[in-house]
Copies of this chain bind each other. A is one copy, B any other.
C-alpha cells in the first residue's frame, strides 16, 4: 500500500506540473484561447506583418503563384481584420490581380514566436488562409486609412520609389481556413471573424505594446 501511495503522490505532482505548464502556455502574450476561432484568426492577421499572397499567374499560364507580401490590418490599437497591401504592377502579383482578383493570403503562427518547438505543420501551430479577392482601393478616405495602417507597421514603405507606382489594395475576405488544433479546419464564418472586432482589438493592443 505504501508503494501505491508513492505512485499516487507522483501522479499528483505530475498533474500539478502539467497544470502549471498549461497555464504558462496560456499566458503567452496575447495568444487567444484555441477555441476562440475568430480571436485566433484576428490575432494571426494583426500580429503578422507579411504573408504569402497566391494568385492565378499570368506569366506562368494560370499556375497558382505565391509571393511574399507585406500587409497591415490597421494602425496599432485599431486592428480591423482587413489586410491592406501596398503593391506595384511591376511585380507579378499585382499584375495577376489586375487580370484576376481571386487569391488567398496565407499566414503561420511561426513568425510570432509562440509555436515553441512545434513543427510549422503541426496543427497546434496555428495557420490561416484567407481566400477572396484583392482589389485596388478607390476612395481617398480608405486610401488614407490604408496608408496609415501600412506606414505605421512598415515605415520604409513611405520612401519606396514613386516611379514604381505603388498602389493601395485591400483583401475582400470570402472564406477563412483556420487550423489551430487537431481535428481539421475550424468553423469560422466571415461575419464571426468581423463580429469579434472588440475582442481582437483588445488582444492586439496588448500585443502591439
Task: Please list the residues of chain A having a beta carbon within 8 angstroms of any beta carbon in chain B.
Answer: 49-57, 60, 63-70, 86, 90, 92, 102-106, 108, 110-111, 118-122, 127, 129, 131, 154, 156-157, 175, 177, 184
- Most B-side CB within 10 Å, residue of A110, A118, A129: A129
Is B64's CB under 8 angstroms from A56's CB?
A: yes
Given A92-B177, A121-B69, A103:B64 Cβ within 8 A: yes
Is A127's CB under 8 angstroms from B63's CB?
A: no
A69 partner residues in chain B, CB cutoff 8 A = 121
> A67 vs B127: C-alpha distance in the bound complex, in angstroms?
8
Is A63's CB under 8 angstroms from B108's CB?
A: no
> A51 vs B175: C-alpha distance in the bound complex, in angstroms?
21
A64 partner residues in chain B, CB cutoff 8 A = 54-56, 64-66, 102-104
> A115 vs B145: C-alpha distance in the bound complex, in angstroms?
27
Is B52's CB under 8 angstroms from A119's CB?
A: no
> A121 vs B53: C-alpha distance in the bound complex, in angstroms?
12
A102 partner residues in chain B, CB cutoff 8 A = 63-64
> A169 vs B118: C-alpha distance in the bound complex, in angstroms?
21
Return the contact of A54 from the options B52, B92, B111 (Cβ within 8 A): B52
Q: How far is the CB of A176 from chain B (nearest CB, A)?
A: 11
